[in-house]
Amino acid sequence: MTGKQLPGSLSENVILTRYKYVLDQKKRLTSNTFKILAIYQGGLIVLSTGALSAIHFLQTSDVTEAAAERALWVAFSALALLSLFAVAMIAAGIRAWGNYTQEESALLDRLKIDQRPANRTSIWAWYETYLMFSIGVVLSVAFIVIWNHTLLR
């Protein structure tokens, strides 16, 4: 129907269907955030195990210090890339959440439904902020540990 107004109930049904879709997408964004975090945790465990193995083999076998140091820096570089990926994906999810929230508000306005004001001004209210902060802390601690290990040879 081009250029014509839909009948009232049909128009409302279309808006309600779109509203349900928007809410479903917001739920999926939350689910995706935790999936990204699970991938990060798995990668962190694998890379930490590899770094600890390099240190262990340095002390118990014929691995040279230079080879162990390279292995530590490779593990750290992989962790840095994994961290960058995780933070970028979480930031993209925040942006998508903001877009869906704007669309949700517009749909509720079209349906003339009162809505509670969204508290989008404080980033400290979002769990994503703490996830990204935690990823930064893990990356910083890994760097400090590797840096100190290579300096203390």
pLDDT digits (tens, 9 = 90+) for 107-133: 988 888 877 766 666 788 888 999 999
Check whether 85 has a pLDDT greater than 70.
yes
Domain ranges of the chain: 8-151
What DSSP assignment string belongs to 10-65? HHHHHHHHHHHHHHHHHHHHHHHHHHHHHHHHHHHHHHHHHHHHHHHHHHHSS--H
The model's pLDDT over 32-77, given as tens digits with 9 standing for 90+, comes to: 999 999 999 999 999 999 999 988 888 888 888 889 889 999 999 9
What pLDDT is attached to residue 34? 95
Over the chain, what is the mean pLDDT? 88
- pLDDT confidence of 1, banded at 50, 70, 90? very low
Indicate yes or no: pTM above 0.85: no
| Rounded Cα distance, 88 and 96, in Å | 12
